[in-house]
Amino acid sequence: MGRARVSAGRRVAATMIMSFGLIAGVGLMPASATASLPPPPEGQWTRVGDDAFEHFGCKVSLGGGRWSVNTATYRTDPDAPPDIGAYAAIIKGRGEETAKVVDSVTSVAWEDRWVYTAELVGSTKRNHALWIQGAYYGPPAYEGELRIPIKKLIRCA
């Protein structure tokens, strides 16, 4: 019984020490670590992921389980070549071998380090997903961090 209290006490002390260390560590985080995050695009967006760019998506209902998907991509490096844009696709399935592209678009129309795409049409009833990546490499893998099911996107504001 006494031994359990000591263990519990040690756990509490260890937790407090670890919490203090985490708090202190956050305070020591270099400013560059937080400065590299892009400002959010205007409106309501879901962060999809990042490669050399930061990618966001949102959806607008078309009725009957169909959605129009909009994307926003932020160019984190202001010196990146402007002819490299963003590729977005509505896909069914996963992986290079089995994924089927339902709709896709590539845009290089940068506006103040942002490029937007609009009106990719997909369906939650058919388990479609959004794939988005920088248009500087290919072919897309259609699997991994840059893939998100349409049902997980928030509605555009």
Expressed in percent and rounded to 5, the helix, strand and coil fractions of the chain are: 25, 40, 35
Q: What is the pLDDT of residue 21?
A: 37
Residue 59 pLDDT > 70, yes or no? yes
pLDDT digits (tens, 9 = 90+) for 10-47: 433 333 333 333 333 333 333 333 345 566 677 899 99
Nearest to 117, CA basis, from 147, 87, 83: 87
Write out the two tokens for 18. 């670890």
Nearest to 48, CA basis, from 30, 25, 28, 72: 72
- Cα–Cα dist 27/146, whole Å: 30
The pLDDT of 49-64, averaged and rounded, is 93
pLDDT digits (tens, 9 = 90+) for 67-112: 999 999 999 888 888 888 999 999 998 887 888 999 999 999 998 8
Q: What is the pLDDT of residue 97?
A: 80
pLDDT band for position 65 (cuts 50, 70, 90): very high
- Cα–Cα dist 24/76, whole Å: 28
The pLDDT of 136-149, averaged and rounded, is 81
Report which of residues 55 and 34 the model is more confident about. Answer: 55
Q: What is the pLDDT of residue 17?
A: 37
Q: What is the pLDDT of residue 124?
A: 86
- Indicate whether this model's pTM tops 0.85: no
Residue 1 pLDDT > 50, yes or no? no
- Phi then psi for residue 38, to 5 deg, are -75, 155
